[in-house]
Structure 1
Amino acid sequence: MKKGLFLFTLLIVAGISSCKDQPKQTTEAVSEKNEVVANSALVPEKWISSRVAKAKNRLQGSEAGSVIWNAMEAHGGLSKWFSNGALAFRFNYQPLDGKTARDSYQIVDVWRNRAVHTSVSDSTAKFGWNGKTAWVKAKDSTAFAYDTKFWALTPIYLFAHPFVLDGEGVNLELLPQAKYKEKTNDVVKVTFDAGTGDAPDDYYILHFDVDTHLITAIRYIVSYPEYFKDGGHNPEKFMEVGELVNIEGILLPTGLKTHWTVENGQPGDYITKIDVSDLHFIKTLENDFYDVPEGAKILE
């Protein structure tokens, strides 16, 4: 999302900012610049109505976009997504080869693509993205043994499809339908305009059940320049979407199983287990909640 800051701001995101194992997306900037919103968790309903109307008009203008819009509706609706408040959850990313795990509680501003992560093992260790700046605050460098700038928004871009695709800078292509687990799926490829987030060369290929419009699988690559300094990307991965649960009217998965993609776009070797738990929306946050805290290290 940026796409990760994946897309960190990718959906001011001007952010998929660099946090992402996936691209980030850019979200529309708020037009009511002069209005003061004291609560970081909620935004005025009129802002939401305007943004949702624009997204609907844009998405329904193409076959691929209509698939995404129908999926948004099936998962609870874009209006509900933005109205519920900040999304809180634990995201436990566990590579099966023993490589670095990434396990944190996080609170994400789904409207402006901002995030604060807290270590599961040390509540004083935190990192985040405030829409412009990535930061980390921890007693020592071992608290987060991974690229926290890249990871700040990556989890939301991995498991919160299709809602993270409402912004501009997102290109959608309808691919031929495919069979997955013996059911027909609509398939949409997502790419990003140059300059969208930190990894605009990322792509997603999203599978949706043709009857229910619910997401079933996600294929994606990571092209984050800090990982691939000479260009290129990792091999395509295939994520099975786990059980969908209803969180205040929004359907989200409680887990993902990542594989390497093999022939015909199917899952191969199982490589990463992802558990998503403690899912809930927060209605009230202080206006400075996403600000860089005193004593934090700024990440370039």
Structure 2
Amino acid sequence: MRIPFNLLGLFLVLNLVACKETTNKETAASTEVKTTEVAYNIPDSWIQDRVAKANKRLNATEAGKVLWSAMEAHGGLDKWYGNGYLSLRFNYEPVDGKGIRDSYQTIDTWSNKARHNSITDPTSIFGWDGKEAWVKAKDSTSFAYDTKFWALTPLYFSGHPFVLDGEGVNLELLPKIEFQGATQKVIKATYEAGVGSAPDDYYILYVDAKTNLVSAIKYIVSYPKYFPNGGHAPEKITVLQGTTTVDGIVFAKGFKTYWSTNDKDGLGEYITKISVSDLSFSPTVEENFFSKPEGAKVLMD
């Protein structure tokens, strides 16, 4: 998974008395009331320009056309960016019970920033501000995993196919396959050198030939901190588990992840269940919401 480079951001500070409301009761208790909010005031012209460039670039290749059709089926790239800040609960549960990661998070989809609250301890938080990863927790047990790596990882599950719209993404059209009884168009996404923190990552998307919705995603983890001498973890495949539509965007309600094999459907050992809930978009967040709060620790490489 990846922590992408920072993109363009523009925010307008409004003098309002409000706080960001969430549908998650456990995290609502930890939300501090602020006297200002930052609006998601990305100009429509910026969004239109970005979408137009992606449209032109993607529709110049057969692989890109498949990705663009998937974006349209999932609600459209313009709506993805125009809806504002995305919030969701992402509960990652390995079947062996080790390494559970359950947090409620808000993501700036425009510039790839994120802030997470622990579900079990909502006062414990971590995030990525576009330049630095930070964490503020009562002790090391609050997040028994690499929060820098995880800050944007859920976006690279729930954000497909939209997260592949940027420059520096190379697409390859692979042969169609039959997967779980349906014909799939298949595209592979790789990254140019120097793009993001793990440019050796790749994703292989299965796109249903009839609906153009993403059915499954193959991927590897090549995060250099985990593989300082190069290489990557074995390939996995995650299968979408039903869909829900929020403000016009089609999301998976969950995923089942398996080791990838060459057997029928390519599904090996079932290793992880992921539940996605409390999905919403919001036009505002608290001022400096994604920035390192007082008392937080900056995470170094």
Shift of 1:122: 1.1
Counterpart secondary structure, 1:173: strand
Q: Which residue of 1 aligns with 2:295?
A: 295
Highest CA radius of gyration, 1 or 2?
2
Q: Which residue of 2 aligns with 1:282?
A: 282
- 2:230 and 2:187 map into 1 onto residues whose CA distance is 25
TM-superposition CA deviations, 1:168-210 (whole Å, max 9, x none): 1111000000100111100000101111111110100000001
Which region of structure 1 is more displaced relative to structure 2, 289-298 or 259-268?
259-268
- 1:209 and 1:94 map into 2 onto residues whose CA distance is 26
Q: How does 1:130-209 map to 2 (within 5 A)?
A: 130-209=129-208
> Which of these residues, 29, 48, 52, is aligned with residue 8 of structure 2?
29
2:79 maps to 1:84: no
Q: Which residue of 2 aligns with 1:18?
A: none
Shift of 1:286: 3.0
Q: Which residue of 2 aligns with 1:25?
A: none
Which residue identity does 1:267 align to in structure 2?
A: L
- 1:241 and 1:288 map into 2 onto residues whose CA distance is 34
Counterpart secondary structure, 1:69: helix
Counterpart secondary structure, 1:47: helix
| Structure-2 change in CA distance of 1:197 and 1:91 (3 Å) | same
| Structure-2 change in CA distance of 1:65 and 1:144 (3 Å) | same
Q: How does 1:1-300 map to 2 (within 5 A)?
A: 6-9=1-4, 14=5, 28-29=7-8, 37-38=12-13, 39-263=38-262, 266-300=266-300
TM-superposition CA deviations, 1:98-128 (whole Å, max 9, x none): 2110000000000000000000011110000
Give the conservation status (yes or no) of the 8 Å contact 2:11–2:41: no
| Structure-2 change in CA distance of 1:41 and 1:87 (3 Å) | same
- 1:189 and 1:29 map into 2 onto residues whose CA distance is 26
TM-superposition CA deviations, 1:237-263 (whole Å, max 9, x none): 011111111101000001000001111
- 1:42 and 1:86 map into 2 onto residues whose CA distance is 11
Give the conservation status (yes or no) of the 8 Å contact 1:119–1:126: yes
Which residue identity does 1:195 align to in structure 2?
A: G
| Structure-2 change in CA distance of 1:66 and 1:74 (3 Å) | same
Which residue identity does 2:227 align to in structure 1?
A: F
Shift of 1:41: 3.3
Give the conservation status (yes or no) of the 8 Å contact 2:11–2:39: no
Counterpart secondary structure, 1:251: strand
Give the conservation status (yes or no) of the 8 Å contact 2:11–2:42: no
Which residue identity does 2:267 align to in structure 1?
A: P
- TM-score scaled to structure 1, two decimals? 0.89
Counterpart secondary structure, 1:73: helix
Which residue identity does 1:37 align to in structure 2?
A: L
TM-superposition CA deviations, 1:12-56 (whole Å, max 9, x none): xx16xxxxxxxxxxxx535xxxx6533353412111111111111
- 2:66 and 2:280 map into 1 onto residues whose CA distance is 26
**Superposed CA RMSD:** 1.3
Give the conservation status (yes or no) of the 8 Å contact 1:40–1:288: no
Give the conservation status (yes or no) of the 8 Å contact 2:207–2:214: yes
- 1:36 and 1:126 map into 2 onto residues whose CA distance is 22
Which residue identity does 1:8 align to in structure 2?
A: I
Give the conservation status (yes or no) of the 8 Å contact 1:37–1:287: no
Aligned residues: 275
Give the conservation status (yes or no) of the 8 Å contact 2:54–2:165: yes
- Structure 1 runs (4+) deviating above 3 angstroms are none
Query: Structure 2 unaligned runs (5+)?
Result: 14-37
- 1:45 and 1:225 map into 2 onto residues whose CA distance is 37
- 1:192 and 1:136 map into 2 onto residues whose CA distance is 28
- 2:140 and 2:12 map into 1 onto residues whose CA distance is 35
Which residue identity does 2:217 align to in structure 1?
A: I
Give the conservation status (yes or no) of the 8 Å contact 1:40–1:289: no
Give the conservation status (yes or no) of the 8 Å contact 1:260–1:269: yes
